[in-house]
Amino acid sequence: MRHPSIRYLIVPGWQGSPDDHWQSHWQRSLPNSARVAQADWLKPKREAWVAELQRSIASDPRPTILIAHSLGCITVAHWALYAPVELLGRVRAALLVAPADVERANCPPALKNFAPIAQQALPFPSLVVGSDNDSAASATRAIELARDWGSDVAILSGAGHINVKSGHQRWEQGFAYLYRLQSQIEKRERLSA
């Protein structure tokens, strides 16, 4: 990576990211990476998850890139709505992979307390990566969320929920999206210098 001072904060979704999930692989691969550790991965509560994300960001003064998956993406959007300006300023960008549409008709009951989804534009660069066959959010819904959040969007073909079940254990190709975000940060820093 080009910015050794950047911290990568992994924000898993419902049930966490097991050892063979791409988020775990990335945490082992990226320098200066950490993970948001929720107290209850099976019965998530929006307020608790948002508070833990805030604590994780506040615990380290370095500039941070959020790498969220599924319900983690929704957690990021809720956090950004009420976060203190100082902490918002620490987040340089967010990679939001396979956001879970907690407003959909077939949403698991355990996730419904995350609805409605925060719709404000995120105050940092972001990229939503969805799939055209994700049961947690259709491509159309992923594009809507990206529009609401002011995010760039990429829709992958046949990638499912971009998790272990859909064959994305290491997801090396996903690093290209992270590098794209990192390049946006560097360009923005050069322009403001």
Q: Please give the Cα distance from 158 to 166 (Å, whole number).
A: 9
169, part of any domain: yes
Q: Give 120-132 pLDDT, tens digit per residue.
A: 999 999 999 999 9
Look at residue 8 and give its three-state secondary structure.
strand
The CATH number covering residue 64 comes to: 3.40.50.1820
2, part of any domain: no
20, part of any domain: yes
1, part of any domain: no
Q: Give 80-134 pLDDT, tens digit per residue.
A: 999 999 999 999 999 999 999 999 999 999 999 999 999 999 999 999 999 999 9
pTM for the whole thing?
0.95
Q: Please give the Cα distance from 183 to 49 (Å, whole number).
A: 29
The confidence score (pLDDT) of residue 4 equals 59
Is the per-residue pLDDT at 1 higher than 70?
no
Strand arrangement, sheet containing 64-69: 33-35, 7-11, 64-69, 91-97, 126-131, 152-156
| Contact by Cβ (8 Å): 71, 114 | yes
The whole domain housing 114 covers 7-192
172, part of any domain: yes
Total domains in the chain come to: 1
The confidence score (pLDDT) of residue 2 equals 47
| Contact by Cβ (8 Å): 71, 157 | no
120, part of any domain: yes
| All residues at 6 or more sequence positions from 84 whose CB lies less than 8 Å from its CB, including other chains | none
